[in-house]
Structures are given as structure tokens and as C-alpha cells.
Amino acid sequence: MRELVLDTETTGLDPKDGHRVIELACVELINYIPTGAYWHWYFNPERDVPKAATDVHGLTNQFLANKPLIGAVAHEIVETLGDARLIIHNAPFDMGFLNHEFGRLGLPPLDMERVTDTLALARRKHPGSPNNLDALCRRYGIDNGARTKHGALLDSELLADVYLRLIGAEQAGLNFATQATTDAAEAEIAVQVRPEPLPPLISPEEETAHAAFAASLGEKGIWNRYPQKSE
């Protein structure tokens, strides 16, 4: 199974307000094992980068001025994503921006059905706790000392570690996931059937009392919705 842990940086919070994607990165997992393969792009957004956004990710107008337009590498991005499952933290944000960019270019949108949102996973696993990327790195003992600002590639690498811990697959490097699948497919499972059924645990008096109670419920009693055991 191929998965891509993906992150973006943008000029703002909402593509409907004219904000654009300026950085995209993803790292590859195969059967929950990091392969070491990664992809990383910067884009000229054809607009200014507000100071508030630069304060978050450090990307400036001057730095992005000579970078390609996203349209110039869009087909490379689509080919890279392929049919991989996408692992994204706060997926609606990144997917909203990517699909807005794809829509501008006349490309089909990415389907949310192929996405695993690690923020939703973390909220279910650790309700009531901070679940941003820094907090999850602290929780799982992942070194994020190099993360002085947001950056798509570093955040993707950190998120890959967080994701594997969230799903309990941090030992996947030992190939447990693949081996488990193989074992399940190849194993011959023997089921031992009791030669005689176990004796009932209720007494005849209790059985009679229960039958009387069930009869007292009348024809519309919920007990009558279920088939009774035949002797």
C-alpha cells in the first residue's frame, strides 16, 4: 500500500479570498514503511505574500519570485500523487487549497475519500488534549527542534512519524504489516468443535419464570421480534 504524507504552505487561510499555494511537499510510505522518497515544490503565487503568512513559514515575495507557477508542474504533481492514499493534518485546509489550484487549471479535484486526516485521528485518540503537530511530537517523543517555522517538507517528515504512532505502526520497519497480511492469507485455521454442547446455566424454574414474563408482554412485546430457540 502506497501512502503520501502531504503538507502545503499558503499565502493565507482561504483560497476563495485569492490566497494561493506556495509550497507543497510529500514523503512516501509503502506498507507503513518510510521509503526515503520525497517530493518538494515551491511556487510563485502571482500575488504578494502577506507579512502575517511570512511570519508563519518564512517564505517571502523575493524568495518565490523566480519559482515556477504551479501550472508548470501540475501534471508532475498529479503523476506523483497517483492513486496513493494521502495523509494530511487538518486535511480540509490543504485539500481545499489543492483542489482550488487544480480547478483553476482545469484538472479534476482530489477525492476526500482517499484522505486520512491525522488531526481527526488524534482528536479521537487524545480527546481534550492539544493535537497540533508540535503537541503530538512532544507526546510521542519526536524531535522537532528544527521546526522554528512551518515548512511543508519538514512538517511532512514529522507528520509521517506522528501518523505511524497514531495508528500503532511505528514498528512497521520490521515488516509486521506485510507479514501479517501474508500469514492471514496463507494460514490454515483449524476450528475445534465441541462434541457436546455445554449444559444450560439456568434452572428449570428460572426458564419457566422467564417464559411467563415474556408471555406477559403480549403479542407486541419486543421479545417476540426475535426467533426463539427450537429444541
Integer-rounded Cα Rg, in Å, for the chain is 27
> Cβ of 54: how many Cβ atoms within 10 Å?
16
Of residues 218 and 119, more confidently modeled: 119
- Tens digits of residue pLDDT in 22-78: 999 999 999 999 999 999 999 999 999 999 999 999 999 999 999 999 999 999 999
What percentage of the chain has pLDDT greater than the value 70?
81
Residue 225 has pLDDT above 70, yes or no: no
Helices (H), 140-200: 152-166, 176-186
Q: What is the pTM of this model?
A: 0.73
Average pLDDT over residues 145-151: 76
Active-site residue, from 19, 57, 89, 150? 150
Q: At 53, list the grid cell.
A: 503568512
What is the domain partition of the chain in residue ranges? 2-185
Amino acid of residue 73? V
Per-residue pLDDT, 180: 39
Using an 8 Å Cβ cutoff, are 61 and 49 in contact? yes
Q: Is the confidence at residue 145, as pLDDT, over 60?
A: yes
Residue with the bigger pLDDT between 206 and 131: it is: 131
- Is 57 noted as a catalytic residue in this protein? no
Terminal-to-terminal C-alpha distance of the chain? 50
Residue with cell 495508528: 167
Note the CATH architecture for domain 2-185.
2-Layer Sandwich (3.30)
pLDDT tens for residues 173-210? Answer: 544 444 434 433 443 334 344 556 667 777 788 888 87
Cα–Cα distance, 89 to 162 (Å, whole number): 10
Secondary structure (3-state) at 17: helix
Q: Mapping DSSP to helix (H, G, I), strand (E, B) and coil, where does residue 49 land?
A: coil
Residue with cell 492471514: 184
